Chains A and B, each alone.
Chain A
Amino acid sequence: ILNVEQSPQSLHVQEGDSTNFTCSFPSSNFYALHWYRWETAKSPEALFVMTLNGDEKKKGRISATLNTKEGYSYLYIKGSQPEDSATYLCASKVGGSQGNLIFGKGTKLSVKP
């Protein structure tokens, strides 16, 4: 059974704070690591897809890093804004291009103005 773990489960920060959360996944047979942003009453939308050890991706104030050897990824948000409030999901794909995509439970971020 493939377990994808995310921490913390929830996070409350003030506007302007920078924050980060963790996704851990089994490192064997790794293929790709996905991050999604899921706003209330909407569908999850992809932020990043990462495949290479040491990969770093950035989109505006949000960035992510990947360590495939130890099986973790960090998502960073610099200068959080209320519109960043959402649940952030990571998902791991193992076993090649034909592998299944398994999601963690997510980190729910609330940014207070």
Chain B
Amino acid sequence: EAQVTQNPRYLITVTGKKLTVTCSQNMNHEYMSWYRQDPGLGLRQIYYSMNVEVTDKGDVPEGYKVSRKEKRNFPLILESPSPNQTSLYFCASSSLKQGRRYTEAFFGQGTRLTVV
């Protein structure tokens, strides 16, 4: 089954304690992206990646890091989480192959992070 898997689904942590949210896709997609969703602000892009070892900042990258060492994985790293990073996070992936213009993005189940 084609899917994007995020872990964990729920996480409560304390300020300053490093954490990683994992994202994995099994569709051989080139493109992967992280978003955070806050009330009234829609989906805001944190980082995205066009392929292995290619990452770029989205609209709200401060306080986050990513890596893309393998095509299937795109972890989101919070080196020193703060309460303003409390949010609902989504990972998404899609194909970038030429000729596949109608390809949509597939989303993970979401990770609800609370930083106290």
Contacts and interface: CB of A to CB of B under 8 A. Distances in A.
B110 interface: yes
B98 interface: yes
Question: What interface size band does chain B fall in?
Answer: 20 to 34
Interface residues of A, number: 21
Contacts of A91: 105
A49 B35 contact: no
Choose among A46, A91, A97, A98 the residue with the greatest number of B CB atoms under 10 Å from its CB. Answer: A97
B41 A101 contact: no
B101 A51 contact: yes
A2 to B, nearest CB: 10
A49 B42 CA distance: 19
Given A49-B104, A105-B41, A105-B42, A97 B98 contact: yes
Given A49-B103, A97-B101, A106 B33 contact: no
Nearest to B56: A100
Which of B94, B101, B106, B109 counts the most A-chain CB atoms under 10 A from its CB? B101
Contact of A103 (B45, B100, B103): B45
A102 B107 contact: no
Residue among A91, A98, A101 with the highest chain B CB neighbour number at 10 A: A101
Contacts of B43: 44, 89, 103, 105-106
Contacts of B109: 43
A98 B96 contact: yes
B41 A49 contact: no
Interface in B78-116: 90, 92, 94, 96-110
Given A98-B96, A100-B33, 7 more contacts: A97-B97, A101-B31, A101-B105, A103-B35, A104-B42, A105-B40, A105-B41
